[in-house]
Amino acid sequence: MEDYTSKYKGEQIEVALFGGDYQDGVLTAYCVVDDVAHIELNGHILIPLQNIASLHCSSRCDAPEPDWPPRGLAEDERDEDT
């Protein structure tokens, strides 16, 4: 599993949880608690990775290239136009 903590630490993210709940905040850490991988938001909210349906880095939506769109997305969009 790739560790994105160093790349996105301090970024505003939105987390969609299985069951329809959402959390948002600043990514402060990626850690392991009792052998279960978690992300930490705002320095105190721990969310087990197994409960996360999707994660969106909202602070990078308007970022200039090369940060946004993620690599591969632009190529996929061009393929759909043909």
Chain centroid offset of residue 78 CA: 24
7 vs 46, residue with greater confidence = 46
* CATH number of 5-81, picked from 2.60.120.260, 2.30.30.100, 3.90.79.10, 3.40.30.10: 2.30.30.100
Tokens of 23: 């959390």
Q: What is the pTM of this model?
A: 0.63
Query: How high is the pLDDT of residue 78?
Result: 47
Helix ranges (DSSP H) in 1-82: 5-8, 73-81
Q: Where are the beta strands (DSSP E) in the chain?
A: 12-17, 22-33, 36-41, 45-48, 52-56
27-44 pLDDT, tens digit per residue, is 998 888 888 889 999 999
- Angle, CA 53 vertex, CA 51 and CA 57 arms, to 5°: 110
Query: How high is the pLDDT of residue 10?
Result: 86
The residues spanned by each domain of the chain are 5-81
